[in-house]
Structure 1
Amino acid sequence: MKDSVILVLILLALVGSVGAQKKVVIDGWLKGVEDGTPISLMKEEGSVGTEVAKDSVVNGRFHIEYGPDNEEIGRYSLRSFDKGFPSMGLELWAKPGHHMTIEGQNKLIYTWNVISDIPEQKEWAYFVQANKLLWNNYQELSAIRNIVRSADRSTGLEKKNAQITIDSLDRLSDACLYKIHKRNLDLLQKGRMTSVRLKILDAAANMIKWNHIDAFRTPVAKLYNSLDAHLKNSAYGEHIANVLYPPRVVKVGEPMYDTVLTDLDGKLHRLTEFKGQYILLDFWSFGCGPCHASVPEMKEIFEQLKDRLVIVSLSSDNKKMWKQASEYFKMTWNNFSDGRENRGIYAKYGVEGIPNYVLVAPNGIIKDSWTGYDKGSLKNKIKALTGFSVN
């Protein structure tokens, strides 16, 4: 009997061990972070991060476990939304069965030390640590910016002064980013290009696009042109190519751009199949707050104008997140993707902020294009452009 009990205990221990091996396990050791501070593990799907696990700091420690739906290396981030933290998270590469330890001395989470045996994590840490002082400065500015933005203000003068402060903080932050990416471009000249290094190159390319740092164009182009074909054809590779060699953007008054699109069942579509009706193109993502806010109004427009206006929503999310978002919103109108997130049809329509809308006339000519959403704005815009009213 005693031997049987021991055998059962051993079997239970083995089952528990197997279960643990299928989990991402993170142990954190922190200083300078108050007890009770929530720490969230975010699963990164394309450009959208979703909280999948959470713990609170107790005696300077936290412990997080998460069992993903596969055993591949996944992209994650560790974040806290408490006061004093920056608007960024600790970048993580994690795999079930591979334990990692996080060490932090403050609330500057992006530069916390990660002890892991995953090669991608070690490579990423090399670039972060090479710019640690600059990244810490950037995070401090970000944390101050969050405090300034969240403060209550009752007068126009207070709001104006707050904006002046935010603009000043942004300029200082941009100066940090310039130095960081300049150093990274130098570091990228040494060593073989990998997926992690390509992510860093893409961040430098973004400085060309968003910060207009033309001095980065030549070194980014040199590194891009040396890439193997599989890296050029990756998501980051295509995005870098769009920055260096922007595609021609279709404009108001020109024929709409068309390409092969798919629905969630894999059926192929083209925009030309809707020619003869007004077409409202809706560029969206699940990670976009105003996109969430627009859904009730979009449903009203669809229901009341379905015989006169076709809605085509175009997701910039990857397939997994696109499917989850579509189910969450219960979307019943045309809901497509070209499978290239923001690099394909998004680039051809010049979409740089979402939600973005394009109205195409029945003859296939683009009638208008605009960005952003406020309650009632879609109904008002549709009425002004087509004459169709929605109650």
Structure 2
Amino acid sequence: MNKKTFFTMMLVLVTMTGLAQTKTATVTGYSPALKDGTLVLAGTGTIGNVVDTVQAGRFDFTLPVEELTEGFFSLMGEGCPNFNLTLFLRPGVTVKLTGNDCFYPLWNVESPLPEQQTQSRITEHCRDVVTELMQMDLAQKPWAEREVVEMKWMKQQMDILPSLPVDAATIYALWLTSMTAKNTKDFPHMEQLKKLEKTIATRAPKGFEEQLAEIHNNVYPPRLLQVGDEAVDAELLDMQGQKHHLFEAFADGKYVLLDFWGIGCGPCMMSEPEMKEFYEKMKDKIEIIGINQNKLTEWQKHEFSKRIIWKNWNNASKDISSRYCDIGAIPYYVMISPDKRILWKSMGYGPGWFMGMADAFNGLKQDNSANLSLVIQKVNANTSGTTVSFRCYSHKDYWFRIAKDSYLEANGKKYKLTAADGIKLDEDNFTKVKASEATDEFLGNICYTDFTLTFEPFDTTPATFDFIEGDVQGAFVIRNVSVK
């Protein structure tokens, strides 16, 4: 939850007495331990950027703010951990950060805002465990070790929250804990979190209804929809603030792809050129609904949001993502059939995914959702063996492998791989043929490679089979491949 993401800064313009003016807050900082050239990253909400570089241990920057706003600050350089320091800002306020080391999340924060003072009390209460987490981050300890300390941190934050004022800092800390609980199997402090959520919701002043509703959904998530379930409707907003319903997209009898994304999510934005080409090719069969997870105003004003050509809606309340997404990570894709059944769900993005998806829809019937960039194009089954023709899409600099112990499964049996043509088994292979005429720096580098694998002959030719890439637990599968 502490990984940095870098965002494009959005300046909010306000018209006053006929002139365009920008309200800002100022942040200054100093530590003699910082190396010259260390990058300073900061932003408000989920939008930020590199705002300064350290010189002689000092930095300063301004951020656009219209009202009390939760922001973040971090450093990238020698000795700096991968962490965020939470800041609360108002127009005209100056916040001063000072320390003697590179552990900036624990620095002294001078601010006139009571919310920042609440945040400082939380930080001080958790000082030892946050120090341990930062040391583990710098030592690149595996997540299995860090997770134990992360859970301890969540517990310490919950321990102090009941004694603090219920303000933006308290509610933000509770939200962070609730997100961790949502994304952690068997969260060890769930009973304490449930009691705390109820207590803070009772004490909270007006104005936090949306945040509290999201926290409640994290603590008491609605039943998560699974593959095979019928889709549920949801209310969403477009760029003009007009209401829409998810089920509008099914009016033309198309498949519907839900794309959960956010501003500042690198893979979300990286996928856009390929998704656009996919949409132009497949819009007669598939409708895409981009479901943005940012605050409504952030999404409406951001330049990336304005160039989306498919249905472009917002779900700032997160109620739909809590029904469809197994984890609070983006991009997250959900494919729904014309009869409103969930066909598959997938998290993340890899170059060539949408090209492989298009081939699977337009070609031989199959479910390649476990690895969308790999698609089966042809099957030839006879008494001497079963030859399967594949196409793999990827960035030209990314390798792929096919295990020599791959097999087909049908008729309750396994049929071993006997030969490969066009690739080397258990070795790095690179895609070679350009997949698009686009000159875009990223899309233009997506390539494909065709190859064939031959397997033992079927005893009886089945209607469908599964391809399993490697005889190991967790190997990806192309399911229900039609022989015809």
TM-score by length of 1: 0.79
Partner of 1:113: 108
Please tell me whether residue 384 in structure 1 is matched to residue 360 in structure 2. Answer: yes
Q: Map 1:134-283 onto structure 2 (within 5 A).
A: 134-145=129-140, 166-167=141-142, 170-212=143-185, 214-226=187-199, 227-228=201-202, 234-275=209-250, 276-283=253-260
How much identity, in percent, do the aligned residues show?
Answer: 25
Secondary structure at the counterpart of residue 86 of structure 2: strand
The 1:85/1:213 distance shift into structure 2, 3 A limit, reads farther
Q: Distance in 2 between matches of 1:373 and 1:36?
A: 32
- What is the CA-CA distance between 1:86 and the residue it aligns to? 1.2
Q: Map 1:297-316 onto structure 2 (within 5 A).
A: 297-316=274-293
Q: Distance in 1 between matches of 2:300 and 2:22?
A: 28
Please tell me whether residue 372 in structure 1 is matched to residue 354 in structure 2. Answer: no
Contact 1:253 1:367 in 2 (8 A): yes
Partner of 1:346: 321
Q: Deviations over 1:126-165 (max 9, x none)?
A: 11011212212211211232xxxxxxxxxxxxxxxxxxxx
1:323 to 294, 300, 303: 300
The 1:114/1:233 distance shift into structure 2, 3 A limit, reads closer
Amino acid at match of 2:106: T
Partner of 1:292: 269
Partner of 2:84: 89
Amino acid at match of 1:281: L
Q: Distance in 1 between matches of 2:28 and 2:266?
A: 32
- What is the CA-CA distance between 1:314 and the residue it aligns to? 0.7
Secondary structure at the counterpart of residue 80 of structure 1: strand
The structure carrying a bigger helix percent of its residues is 1
Partner of 2:25: 24
Secondary structure at the counterpart of residue 348 of structure 1: helix
Secondary structure at the counterpart of residue 76 of structure 2: coil
- What is the CA-CA distance between 1:178 and the residue it aligns to? 2.6
Q: Map 1:118-133 onto structure 2 (within 5 A).
A: 118-133=113-128
Task: Look at both structures and tell me which one has the larger radius of gyration over its CA atoms.
Answer: 2
Secondary structure at the counterpart of residue 228 of structure 2: coil
Q: Deviations over 1:46-84 (max 9, x none)?
A: xx23127324222x3223234x253x2222222212132
Contact 1:232 1:238 in 2 (8 A): no
Aligned pair count? 343
The 1:215/1:325 distance shift into structure 2, 3 A limit, reads same
Q: Distance in 2 between matches of 1:234 and 1:328?
A: 26
The 1:279/1:22 distance shift into structure 2, 3 A limit, reads closer
The 1:271/1:27 distance shift into structure 2, 3 A limit, reads closer
Identify which range, 239-248 or 276-285, moves more after superposition.
239-248
Contact 1:359 1:369 in 2 (8 A): yes
Secondary structure at the counterpart of residue 59 of structure 2: strand
Partner of 1:56: 54
C-alpha root-mean-square deviation of aligned residues, in Å?
A: 2.8
Contact 1:39 1:57 in 2 (8 A): no
The 1:213/1:260 distance shift into structure 2, 3 A limit, reads closer
Q: Distance in 1 between matches of 2:233 and 2:131?
A: 45
Q: Deviations over 1:191-223 (max 9, x none)?
A: 443331122223333443334454411111112
Amino acid at match of 1:39: V
The structure carrying a bigger strand percent of its residues is 2
Q: Deviations over 1:72-111 (max 9, x none)?
A: 2222222212132111122111223222221111111111
Q: Distance in 2 between matches of 1:172 and 1:359?
A: 35
Secondary structure at the counterpart of residue 102 of structure 2: coil
TM-score by length of 2: 0.65
Amino acid at match of 1:24: A
Q: Distance in 2 between matches of 1:384 and 1:225?
A: 48
- What is the CA-CA distance between 1:326 and the residue it aligns to? 5.4
Q: Distance in 2 between matches of 1:175 and 1:119?
A: 31
Contact 2:34 2:54 in 1 (8 A): no
Q: Distance in 2 between matches of 1:372 and 1:176?
A: 26
The 1:351/1:325 distance shift into structure 2, 3 A limit, reads farther
Q: Distance in 1 between matches of 2:32 and 2:73?
A: 16
Unaligned runs of 5+ in 1: 1-19, 146-165
- What is the CA-CA distance between 1:300 and the residue it aligns to? 0.8
Amino acid at match of 2:129: L
Q: Distance in 1 between matches of 2:138 and 2:76?
A: 10
